[in-house]
Amino acid sequence: MNDPQIIDFGDITPEQLAAASHYSVEIHWSPDDDVFLASVPELPGTMTHGTTHAGAAEMAIEAATLWIATARHFGREIPAPRLAAIAS
């Protein structure tokens, strides 16, 4: 019997990762947890961690990819990536 709470999106594709990489990633060191915490501000509730700064960033992009896939599955609105301010 299949659990209706489990959604199998299959493998994450390079195209999905590339699209998710357009979102902002904020990374902070957590001395209490001894890890880097990473969040994606545009995608509410998207937070993960890694033992290295790079690892936390990679996990955040994967989490964003899954957030977007889940939103699409349920027909929810997907926020646009934040535009970067460019100094001239």
Domain harbouring 48, CATH code: 3.30.160.250
Residue 18: both structure tokens together: 């590339």
State the pLDDT confidence band at 3, using cuts at 50, 70 and 90. low
CB 59 within 8 A of CB 49: yes
Q: How far apart are CA 35 and CA 55, in angstroms?
A: 10
pLDDT-based confidence at residue 45 (cuts at 50, 70, 90): very high
The pairs formed by 43-48 with CB atoms below 8 angstroms and a separation of 24 or more are 43/67, 43/68, 43/79
Domain count, the chain: 1
Q: What is the pLDDT of residue 87?
A: 61
- Is residue 36 a part of any domain in this protein? yes
Query: Given pLDDT bands bounded at 50, 70 and 90, which one contains residue 11?
Result: confident
Mean pLDDT of 49-77: 95
Does some domain include residue 50?
A: yes
Give domain status of residue 44, yes or no.
yes
Q: 23: domain range?
A: 15-73
What's this model's pTM, rounded to 2 decimal places? 0.84
Do the domain assignments include residue 85? Answer: no
